[in-house]
Amino acid sequence: MNPIPVAFHIGPLQVHTYGIGLALTFWFGFVYFERRLKKNGYPTEWLVPVFLCIILAAVVGARALHVLTNLSYYTSNPGDVFAIWHGGLSSFGGLLFAVPTGIILTRRRCPELSLGRALIFRKIKERFGPNLRALICGSAPLAPETQNFFGMLGIRVLQVYGLTETTGICTMDDPDGTVDTGHVGPTIDGIEMQVGEENELIVRGPNIFPGYWNREEETAAVLRGGWFHTGDQGEKNEHGNWRIVGRVKNLLILNSGHKIPPEPIEDKLAQLLPAAQHVILVGNGRGYLCAMLTGPVEKSAVQAALDNVNRDLPHYRQIRNFTVLTETLTPDSGLLTAMGKLRRAAINERFASQIEALYASKTT
């Protein structure tokens, strides 16, 4: 006898139990594995192909288990084995196949690195000791590739953000939550942080300092309306994690009125040009941006990197011209701080003639 799935009636509708089971399987897969994809840092574009694979696994598993539990019938009617909707499906079989498939496809670690983890990465991690749960990084921007490198080894790097004036940290990556590369995590309990004018981060809480010693004007400039104005620009993503974009004082204001933080573009160029020692954007009061670079970089490589970066930028953020400087930037020359940060005003003054030449040789 052909096994007929159990069905019941709701008014004029006949509802099959395996249909309900598969619908629940698909709903579970979509909701749960969408969250896993986001948590483990995969792009949202992966959701559709991953979900299609989960659906395929659910259908195959459901059919396979149904056939196995009705072997006597299918032994006599082998032609019905591949007639998917003829004999029925097992909702339990769908779950049995779909869940492991989804977990494998959305797991944190890349499967292509499994051999490296087994032979090399595990041994490197063991050198750090058996009790290491994570590394915490602050004080300066952490390159995404450095954070990803340690993640490849199985060592999580948690970033924090704070200033001297906040007497400690304001944000920290949640060890039990979503850690987004290049972000510094959500605000910690008891601290408020939001975006003010020009995307400046402003902070309020019991950790904020009362003011600079005997410097009332500077204190009044940063403590306004109960909020401390950090001078840093930031943004928050859908996970509630903050990202530091740049410094308000470093904004490049074009003659069109567009305000552009140079740091994100400089960082992208530096990643594409590992031989470059420094990348400096200029363009205050000009019609477009230009770049100055230091280090042993080929002009052809610089142009290729610019083409790559400009492709994803709106026209007013695109870099139209560049030059490679022969002088090295150092703290001794007054062009870098002791921490290695750019002294932009000093750089613009030192290389004023080179900047003028960039705009003289290029028309808008």
User: Are residue 132 and residue 242 in the same domain, yes or no?
Assistant: yes
For residue 355, the one-letter residue type is I
| CATH code for the domain of 171 | 2.30.38.10
268, 187 Cβ separation under 8 angstroms: no
Kindly state whether residue 191 falls inside one of the protein's structural domains.
Answer: yes
Give the percent of the chain with pLDDT over 90: 51
Q: Averaged over 103-118, what is the pLDDT?
A: 60
24, 42 Cβ separation under 8 angstroms: no
Among 246, 265, 281, the domain-final residue is 246
User: Are residue 92 and residue 171 in the same domain, yes or no?
Assistant: no
Say how far apart CA 195 and CA 201 lie, in whole Å.
5
Among 246, 279, 306, the domain-final residue is 246
CB atoms closer than 10 angstroms to residue 291: 25
Q: Averaged over 125-129, what is the pLDDT?
A: 85
User: Are residue 241 and residue 339 in the same domain, yes or no?
Assistant: no
Q: How high is the pLDDT of residue 38?
A: 64
User: Are residue 290 and residue 335 in the same domain, yes or no?
Assistant: yes
All residues at 6 or more sequence positions from 16 whose CB lies less than 8 Å from its CB, including other chains: 5, 6, 7
User: Are residue 230 and residue 324 in the same domain, yes or no?
Assistant: no
List the alpha helices (DSSP H) in the chain.
17-39, 47-68, 71-76, 84-87, 91-105, 114-116, 122-127, 144-152, 216-222, 262-272, 299-310, 344-350, 352-360
Looking from the CA of 162 toward its CB, the CA atoms found within 13 Å total 22
Average pLDDT, the chain: 82
| Strand 134-137 to 156-163 pairing | parallel
User: Are residue 351 and residue 267 in the same domain, yes or no?
Assistant: yes
Domain tally for the chain? 3
Kindly state whether residue 173 falls inside one of the protein's structural domains.
Answer: yes
For residue 12, the one-letter residue type is P
275, 295 Cβ separation under 8 angstroms: yes
Burial 250-274 (b: 16+ CB within 10 A, else e): bbbebeeebebbbbbbbbbbbebbe
Say how far apart CA 122 and CA 136 lie, in whole Å.
20
Sole residue written with tokens 């590369």:
181
Q: Averaged over 329-335, what is the pLDDT?
A: 94
Q: How high is the pLDDT of residue 327?
A: 93
Instruction: Give the residue with greater pLDDT, 126 vs 236.
Output: 236
Say how far apart CA 288 and CA 327 lie, in whole Å.
24
Worst-scoring range by mean pLDDT, 63-72, 75-84, 327-336, 353-362? 75-84
User: Are residue 131 and residue 241 in the same domain, yes or no?
Assistant: yes
State the Rg of the chain over Cα. Answer: 29
User: Are residue 238 and residue 279 in the same domain, yes or no?
Assistant: no
Among candidate residues 295, 249, 313, 301, the one with its CA nearest the CA of residue 272:
301
Structure tokens at 199: 């995307």
For residue 58, the one-letter residue type is A
Among 246, 276, 304, the domain-final residue is 246
Kindly state whether residue 2 falls inside one of the protein's structural domains.
Answer: no
Kindly state whether residue 117 falls inside one of the protein's structural domains.
Answer: no
User: Are residue 138 and residue 204 in the same domain, yes or no?
Assistant: yes
Say how far apart CA 99 and CA 28 lie, in whole Å.
9
In Å, how far are 11, 133, 231 from 126, measured between CA atoms? 64, 12, 40
16, 7 Cβ separation under 8 angstroms: yes
pLDDT 10s digits, 133-142: 889 998 888 8
291, 282 Cβ separation under 8 angstroms: yes
User: Are residue 48 and residue 135 in the same domain, yes or no?
Assistant: no
> Which residues is 16 bridged to in the sheet?
7
User: Are residue 193 and residue 271 in the same domain, yes or no?
Assistant: no
pLDDT 10s digits, 277-311: 999 999 999 999 999 999 999 999 999 999 999 99
User: Are residue 147 and residue 65 in the same domain, yes or no?
Assistant: no
- CA dihedral in degrees (160, 161, 163, 168; nearest 10)? -40
In Å, how far are 50, 200, 286 from 248, measured between CA atoms? 41, 7, 18
Q: Averaged over 172-182, what is the pLDDT?
A: 88
Kindly state whether residue 150 falls inside one of the protein's structural domains.
Answer: yes
Among candidate residues 134, 141, 339, the one with its CA nearest the CA of residue 242:
141
Structure tokens at 187: 């605000």
Q: How high is the pLDDT of residue 165?
A: 95
If residue 223 lies in a helix (H) or strand (E), which one and from where to where? Answer: strand 223-224
Q: Averaged over 61-70, what is the pLDDT?
A: 71
Kindly state whether residue 118 falls inside one of the protein's structural domains.
Answer: no
| CATH code for the domain of 310 | 3.30.300.30
- Domain span including residue 356: 251-360
